Amino acid sequence: MNKDIIQDNTHEIKDYQAKLESRHRRGKAWQIVFRASTFTGIIALVILLLNIINSAFGYVAIQDAIPPEDLAVNGIPIESLHEIDLVGILEEHLSAGLIRRLESETPWEERSRDEILTLVITRVVEPTVEDTWSLFDSIFNKDKVLREQQEKFPESRLEFKSWLSADFLVTPQSPEPEFAGVRTAILGSLWTIAITLLFSFPLGVGAAIYLEEYATDTPLNRLIQTNINNLAGVPSIIYGMLGLAVFVRILEPLTSGAIFGAVDPTTANGRTVISAGLTLGLLVLPMIIINAQEAIKAVPNSLRQASYGMGATRWQTVWHHVLPNALPGILTGAILALSRAIGETAPLVVVGASTYITFDPSSPFSKFTTLPIQIWQWTARPQDEFRNIAAAAIIVLLVLLLTLNATAILLRNRYSTRD
């Protein structure tokens, strides 16, 4: 009898140990799966970034209509020629009609030497990009690049081009990808964001103060809170349609600047910077409110009690004690909301961003385009060169976002050490 029990036990223990091993094996296997998933997420980010950098730099085959060496006067290269000689080159190579038009725009005497040189290069030398190669090919497959260039465009010269350059940042849009830049788009983004901030920051913080400090538990206040939470989940394109119907169409006299007498001659409707800014303002409002509420909630109650104890009114308590303590949190939230607004594309397409403008926005009633809109339009084109400048524009956008987020993190770290 006794023996039987012992035997049974050993059997069970063996069974248990065998199972234990398989359980541990399964544990190990799944741990690898979990790790691999996390790794995949990181890899996705890395590929995303590499893919952009890959397109933003690389070899290009450039074909000049007239090689710049042929334009040299008395052996002096065009880069160091005098204005008069440059004008001479222009007059020699361009049609008389075009010269007259250029001169009637701005007389030669009023143009700087650099401007005239740019004209010579764009109009006379006329470099066109025939083919482009990715950064990866340019570094690791240089032989292939050389071979392809020799085969397809033997006349052209091979140049390593960084599509992202100082010129790219300061030149306006152009139909030629080689000369296009993001100046208009950056300014448009900044204008839009400024209006978004002016509109949504005071409103958002006000709403948060109301909900946290004033609101009692009434059905109306509960409705406001639920409503804000739900608005945060509405797709951005719906806000675009709201903007189109309300700001662009109904409030057209206001958003086109007509009632202020400030109508931009180039716009006849409400598809302006201010419509875009207000639309984005509504879009980020729930985000700002929710973040500000969190920040206000985190202010210890003892501070409020102490303030009331000293005889302060409610607003005095909020203004002098709650807000200063919640400010870092509120600002961090606002900056994060802004970086969301900067990257938004869909609502602005619906509101009516311009597809092609070359002049800077000068007032809230100007037509506009923004960086993401520009990226979208360039990406949607089939030609490779537009993909290259889209990649360069993406880098500009990401750097802008990174700066904003870094500011937010700095703010958070700087003030969070206090308590």
Quick check: 58 binds other proteins (CB under 8 A)? no
The CA distances from residue 187 to 96, 121, 161, 182, in Å, are 36, 26, 25, 9
Q: Segment near other proteins (CB under 8 A), from 38-46, 76-84, 143-151, 298-306?
A: 38-46
Write out the binding residues for other proteins, residues 301-360 only, by CB under 8 A.
Answer: 313-315, 339, 342-346, 349-350, 352, 355
Q: Segment near other proteins (CB under 8 A), from 150-158, 175-183, 238-246, 253-261?
A: 238-246
Pick the binder of other proteins from 13, 18, 45, 259 (CB under 8 A). 45
Nearer to other proteins, 31 or 165 (CB): 31
Pick the binder of other proteins from 190, 194, 241, 263 (CB under 8 A). 241
Write out the binding residues for other proteins, residues 204-223 only, by CB under 8 A.
Answer: 204-207, 209-211, 214-215, 221, 223
Write out the binding residues for other proteins, residues 4-33 only, by CB under 8 A.
Answer: 23-24, 26-27, 30-31, 33
Q: Segment near other proteins (CB under 8 A), from 97-105, 110-118, 183-191, 384-392?
A: 384-392
- Least distance (Å) between residue 408 CB and other proteins: 10
Write out the binding residues for other proteins, residues 127-186 only, by CB under 8 A.
Answer: none
Pick the binder of other proteins from 154, 233, 261, 309 (CB under 8 A). 233
- Least distance (Å) between residue 351 CB and other proteins: 8
Quick check: 44 binds other proteins (CB under 8 A)? yes
Quick check: 403 binds other proteins (CB under 8 A)? no
Quick check: 37 binds other proteins (CB under 8 A)? yes
Q: Segment near other proteins (CB under 8 A), from 66-74, 102-110, 322-330, 383-391?
A: 383-391
Pick the binder of other proteins from 102, 238, 254, 258 (CB under 8 A). 238
Quick check: 236 binds other proteins (CB under 8 A)? yes
Size of residue set near other proteins by CB under 8 A: 84
Write out the binding residues for other proteins, residues 83-102 only, by CB under 8 A.
Answer: none
